[in-house]
Amino acid sequence: MDLDYMRWVLWLITPVIIVLLLPLIIMILLYGSALFLTIHKHRHRLYEVLESRDVWEGARCALASFWDAWGWLWHGYELEGLEKIPDRGSAMLVYYHGAIPVDFYYMAAKIILHKRRNMKVIGDRFLFKVPGWKLLMEVFNVIPGSQDSCVELLNQGELMGVSPGGVREAMFSDENYTILWGRRSGFAKVALRANAPVYPVFTMNVRETFRYLHIGFFKSLLKKFYDMYKLPLLPPYGNFPVYIKTFIGDPVPYNSDTSAEVLASEVSVIDVSIS
Ligand SMILES: *[C@@H]1O[C@H](CO)[C@@H](O)[C@H](O)[C@H]1NC(C)=O
């Protein structure tokens, strides 16, 4: 009896579902076309790099175009302050880590496309254990990065992206965009040793697109678990199409007498105030 009823309901709503889904196909086609055209807009860059020597340069640029187009389509993504980043020479971008750092992907895409710079990105250890991502990490220069190797890279004039809060900040920061750097000042030590300019980076609304579901008491429990095992166990939700905009701040002034702790806290204060 119940089964019959279910069948009847299914029979009743099937046309409704179909009628609602069909326009979606057209929407997907329309958005797909828009995406294709946006990528095509960057074709001269693609052709240029396809003839260059680095075999991965073309792939990197093509993917950057794709992510750039997607960011524009889904979030109306904008980046302010790109011109502040030097065309060559060392620099460190220090950013607040959203639940999923999509803002960083879009910014990296714009840096590849407009600055033609190959940023080195310091990634959390767990990234290197995700199955199937090895090549992705390699081509986009995501590295585990010890302090010494980072100083070395900056001394060679590389551009570097760092999130001091990392996955911990991703999971346990909140709707107030609380910065969770703790006493982490490694990035400041590196910048001081390499005498590299430090640019604070913050993205408006990044936490309105992806979030973690936290329930009061469990949050502190999960945090303890994370601090012990460094495993991001919580699945995020969202990818809401909200408008996000990244701001690159002015380099934080410091001199050789500045301590790493002071520099770290100054960068974090600026990151808060940009927000
Ligand atoms: C965020 O800030 C508001 C206003 O200061 C406060 O009421 C709220 O508790 C804060 N949320 C968290 C999770 O700290």
pLDDT in tens, 133-158: 888 899 999 999 899 999 999 999 99
Q: Is residue 112 part of a domain?
A: yes
**The ligand 1 atom nearest the CA atom of 174:** 13
**CA 2/CA 244 separation, integer angstroms:** 48
- Residue nearest to ligand 1 atom 9, measured at CA: 176
For the annotated catalytic residues, the residue numbers are: 97
Q: Is residue 223 part of a domain?
A: yes
Ligand 1 and 255: CB distance under 6 A = no
With a cut of 70, say whether residue 104 has pLDDT above it.
yes
Sign of CA dihedral 168, 169, 173, 179: positive
Percentage helix, strand, coil, to 5, in the chain? 55, 10, 30
pTM: 0.83
Q: Is residue 236 part of a domain?
A: yes
Confidence of residue 87 (pLDDT cuts 50, 70, 90): very high
What would the mean pLDDT of 243-272 be, rounded to a whole number?
92
Q: Are 89 and 159 in contact (CB under 8 A)?
A: no
> Considering only CA atoms, which of 55, 71, 56 is closest in space to residue 137?
56
> Considering only CA atoms, which of 133, 149, 151, 78 is closest in space to residue 110?
78
Q: In angstroms, how far apart are the furthest CA atoms of the chain?
A: 81
Q: Is residue 38 part of a domain?
A: no
pLDDT at 65: 92
pLDDT at 47: 72
What would the mean pLDDT of 219-242 be, rounded to a whole number?
87
Q: Is residue 46 part of a domain?
A: no
Ligand 1 and 227: CB distance under 6 A = no
Confidence of residue 52 (pLDDT cuts 50, 70, 90): low
- Residue nearest to ligand 1 atom 13, measured at CA: 174
- Domain limits for position 105: 76-271
Helical (H) or strand (E) element with 234? none
Query: Across the chain, what does the average pLDDT equal?
Result: 89
Ligand 1 and 174: CB distance under 6 A = yes
CA angle 247, 203, 184 (to 5 degrees): 100
Number of domains, the chain: 1
Q: Residue 166: what are its φ and ψ, rounded to 5°? A: 55, -150
With a cut of 70, say whether residue 53 has pLDDT above it.
no
Q: Is residue 17 part of a domain?
A: no
**CA 275/CA 262 separation, integer angstroms:** 20
With a cut of 70, say whether residue 50 has pLDDT above it.
no
Helical (H) or strand (E) element with 121? strand 120-122
Q: Is residue 21 part of a domain?
A: no
